[in-house]
């Protein structure tokens, strides 16, 4: 049984789900790496970037804004989100996040259970975190 696993942000794998995606994911912990039933990522939204509208059958999705600002929509309600805000979405709700700021939007995103999210992310193209990503995520 694993006791713990340590990550350094410079060493994590990052993926973009598809070539036209305006956000990408730095995987912190997931089933392939840690044999767990949830996923922890840093989700990075380019300027103007957004998730496509989506919903989850059984999973709760949590967002904690690390840097930047945006709009979170759940069904027909929208809220402004910024650094320090958190959001919990319950299963069965149509939702989307979009970056409305002048820089990138960074969220710690957790989905419990994974509900295929890790596999979807890993099926995309590998990306390299840039200097800005590493600076923000290192707290510099």
Q: Give the DSSP letter string of the chain.
A: --------GGG-EEEESSTT-SEEEEEEE-HHHH--SSEEEEEEE-TT-BPPPB--SS-EEEEEEEE-EEEEEETTEEEEEETT-EEEE-TT--EEEEE-SSS-EEEEEEEES-TTHHHHHHTSEEE---HHHHHHHTT-
pLDDT in tens, 73-112: 999 999 999 999 999 999 999 999 999 999 999 999 999 9
In the chain, which stretches have pLDDT less than 50?
none
Residue 111's pLDDT is: 97
User: In the chain, where are the structural domains located?
Assistant: 28-127
Residue 140's pLDDT is: 78
Residue 1's pLDDT is: 64
Architecture of domain 28-127: Sandwich (2.60)
Cα gap 139→134, rounded to integer Å? 9
């Amino acid at each position: 049984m694993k006791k713990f696993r340590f990550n350094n942000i410079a060493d994590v794998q990052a993926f973009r789900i598809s070539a036209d995606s305006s956000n990408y994911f730095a995987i912190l912990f997931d089933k392939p790496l840690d044999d767990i039933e949830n996923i922890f990522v840093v989700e990075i939204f380019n300027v103007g970037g957004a998730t496509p509208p989506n919903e989850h059958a059984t999973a709760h999705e949590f967002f904690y804004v690390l840097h930047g600002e945006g709009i979170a929509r759940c069904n027909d309600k929208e809220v402004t989100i910024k650094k320090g805000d958190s959001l919990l979405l319950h299963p069965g709700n149509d939702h989307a996040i979009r970056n409305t700021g002048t820089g990138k939007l960074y969220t710690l995103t957790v989905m419990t259970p994974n509900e295929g999210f890790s596999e979807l992310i890993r099926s995309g193209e590998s990306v390299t975190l840039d200097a800005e990503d590493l600076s923000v995520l290192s707290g510099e």
